[in-house]
Amino acid sequence: MGRFRLETPLAIEIGAVVALFVAALGTLWLTSAAVVGREQRRAMANTRLKSCNDRLETQGQGALAAVRQFPDYMSPEDWSTLDQRLSEEAARVRERDPSIELGYYVPSRHDRPFMPSLPMVHDRGSTSVASTGPGHDLYDYVDTQVDAAFRKGNELSVVEDVPPYTIAIRAAPVRVDGRVVAATWAMTRLVDPIFQDQSALGYRIFAGLALAGIALSLVLTARMTRTVRRQASERERLRVELRRSERLAALGKLLAGVAHEVRNPLAGIRGITQLLVRGVDLGEEGFGHLIDEVDRLEGIVSRLLQFSRADAQDLAPGDLSAVVAEAAKLAQDRARELGVRVELDLADQLPLVDMAPPALVQVFRNLTTNALHVMSSGGVLKLSTRLDPAAGGVTASVADQGPGLSPDVLAHLFEPFFTTKPEGTGLGLAIAREIALAHRGDLTAGNRPEGGAVFTLTIPTTGPRKPS
Ligand code: ADP
């Protein structure tokens, strides 16, 4: 048997593994860097925001405490005092840390729960405090947080994604005489859009690498599939070759058998001829023996011709039922002589199978001849066909009502020259089996439960075409 080499496209395999590995590592690194960085920034921002907010809160508290009729009425002067003190404090905070934004809320006396957040710093660029523009969502979010701090009377510290930013915000209630009267807030942006763009680019690169790895794996799979297919056809070729050499070996065995079989009648002929040469008068019986021996030789030779023809025919799609019907017709005369009824049970519309009809007719002739031989006292000879998915093809059976097959006979049935008949050649079943094999099928024998032997020919419905 040949050994198969799996042709691994090593470069593709390594490329795919490296790409997937790098992509996985890169994604992991980016994600963990983002998480760790975010946590670090959050902790730092929290400390910074707390001190800023505390300072603003103290200022607010002082200014509000100075308002005489608070919270029922705040005069324009009160407002401007408050605004001024907080603005000054905010400016000081911003001087030290320009990335921080601050503001405060005071509940109005009328319809709205809060005054809009005051623009404590004026350099927010396009993101004004007004309720329109790109910063709208951001300050809306600030409003919600400050509202919550005011209502609950608790300090709040939150980190949140408010696209395109990630922000940290700290909000604290301002108390006068134990009563929450306002709230201050301080906010900083933890991740600005540039950083986000960069990490998006990183993710895109690694996703690209992962896709490249997957594409390479697909290429690899396709090539492996092709290799496996090539190996399968190579295996089929070797299998056919093996069968050919097995059959050559069988032929060698057959020839040895032929030599042995031919020697007996030849020895007989030689003996009789020598007696004739010596002038011995053998009478009619002697010549009869001579003719018998020649007939025997003739029988062996014509059977051998069948053997050599078994494989040499072209196969074409055909109907097995039609072949069996034909064989039944050929057996009819002899059956009638013996008082045997030939019964047909043929399946309609069997799938066509590749066959050489004359060779198959020969198979059934051999089988029916054997069957009729053991049914000299009459009975029913049944020929049937059917589709047998379990056997992978169509089958045809010849079932007789003879004595059946003993274990000894079963063991040697298909061997060339195995015969139990004095006048037999022992080639009929060997040839039939050979023909079945030439059809990529098989011929099997067994005993029927109700008595008698049954021979079954199977021909596959699918399978590789006959190798040229
Ligand atoms: P031959 O008919 O020349 O003996 P075969 O190869 O056809 O050669 O058969 C081999 C042997 O198988 C026969 O001699 C017989 O003993 C046995 N055999 C074949 N068919 C049957 C059958 N239907 N019933 C019983 N025995 C059988």
CA of 333 to the centre of ligand 1 (A): 20
Q: What is the pLDDT of residue 2?
A: 42
Ligand 1 nearest-atom number relative to CA 425: 3
Q: What is the pLDDT of residue 393?
A: 92
Average pLDDT of the segment spanning 296-314: 71
Regarding the beta carbon of 409 and ligand 1, being less than 6 Å apart is answered yes
pLDDT: which is higher, 176 or 148: 148
Q: What is the pLDDT of residue 56?
A: 76
pLDDT: which is higher, 195 or 345: 345
Regarding the beta carbon of 412 and ligand 1, being less than 6 Å apart is answered no
Handedness of CA 51, 54, 56, 62 (dihedral sign): negative
Structure-token match 């080639």, residue found? 427
Residue 72: pLDDT above 70?
A: no
CA of 124 to the centre of ligand 1 (A): 108
Residue among 363, 370, 372, 400 whose CB has most ligand 1 atoms within 8 A, to mutate: 370
pLDDT: which is higher, 411 or 113: 411
Residue 3: pLDDT above 80?
A: no
CA of 431 to the centre of ligand 1 (A): 12
Q: DSSP state, 403?
A: S
Q: What is the pLDDT of residue 282?
A: 80
Q: What is the pLDDT of residue 113?
A: 37
Single-letter residue type at 47:
T
Ligand 1 nearest-atom number relative to CA 423: 3
- Whether 156 contacts 148, CB under 8 Å: yes
- pLDDT bin (cut points 50, 70, 90) of residue 462 is low
Single-letter residue type at 352:
L
CA of 430 to the centre of ligand 1 (A): 10
What is the tens place of the pLDDT at every residue in 98-140?
Answer: 788 877 776 654 333 334 344 433 332 322 233 333 455 777 7
Q: What is the pLDDT of residue 4?
A: 43
Q: What is the distance, to the nearest Å, from the Cα of residue 292 to the centroid of all Cα atoms in its chain?
A: 66
Regarding the beta carbon of 371 and ligand 1, being less than 6 Å apart is answered yes
CA of 428 to the centre of ligand 1 (A): 8
Residue nearest to atom 14 of ligand 1 (CA): 419
Regarding the beta carbon of 419 and ligand 1, being less than 6 Å apart is answered yes
Query: CA nearest 183: which of 107, 132, 92?
Result: 107
Q: What is the pLDDT of residue 136?
A: 57
What is the tens place of the pLDDT at every residue in 172-201?
Answer: 887 777 777 778 888 888 765 566 667 778
Average pLDDT of the segment spanning 234-240: 90
Q: Which of 75-79, 120-124, 257-261, 464-468 has the lowest mean pLDDT?
A: 120-124
User: What predicted TM-score, i.e. pTM, was given to this entire model?
Assistant: 0.48
Regarding the beta carbon of 293 and ligand 1, being less than 6 Å apart is answered no
Ligand 1 nearest-atom number relative to CA 418: 10
Ligand 1 nearest-atom number relative to CA 402: 24
- Torsions phi, psi for 396 (to 5 deg): -135, 130
Ligand 1 nearest-atom number relative to CA 452: 24
* Terminal-residue alpha carbon distance, the chain: 21
Average pLDDT of the segment spanning 254-275: 83
Average pLDDT of the segment spanning 386-414: 94
User: What percent of the chain has a predicted confidence (pLDDT) above 70?
Assistant: 83
Residue among 372, 429, 454 whose CB has most ligand 1 atoms within 8 A, to mutate: 429
- Range with the largest mean pLDDT of 176-180, 233-237, 312-316: 233-237
Regarding the beta carbon of 400 and ligand 1, being less than 6 Å apart is answered yes
Q: What is the pLDDT of residue 118?
A: 43
Q: What is the pLDDT of residue 88?
A: 80
Query: CA nearest 346: which of 394, 378, 391?
Result: 394
Residue nearest to atom 21 of ligand 1 (CA): 370
pLDDT: which is higher, 168 or 420: 420
What is the tens place of the pLDDT at every residue in 321-344?
Answer: 999 999 999 999 999 999 999 999
Q: What is the pLDDT of residue 123?
A: 30
Structure-token match 């040949």, residue found? 2
pLDDT: which is higher, 159 or 436: 436
- Range with the largest mean pLDDT of 58-67, 122-131, 215-224: 215-224
Residue nearest to atom 12 of ligand 1 (CA): 413
Q: In what order do the strands lie in the sheet with 453-460?
A: 340-345, 379-388, 393-399, 453-460, 442-447
Regarding the beta carbon of 370 and ligand 1, being less than 6 Å apart is answered yes
Average pLDDT of the segment spanning 229-246: 87
Q: What is the pLDDT of residue 168?
A: 84
Residue nearest to atom 23 of ligand 1 (CA): 371
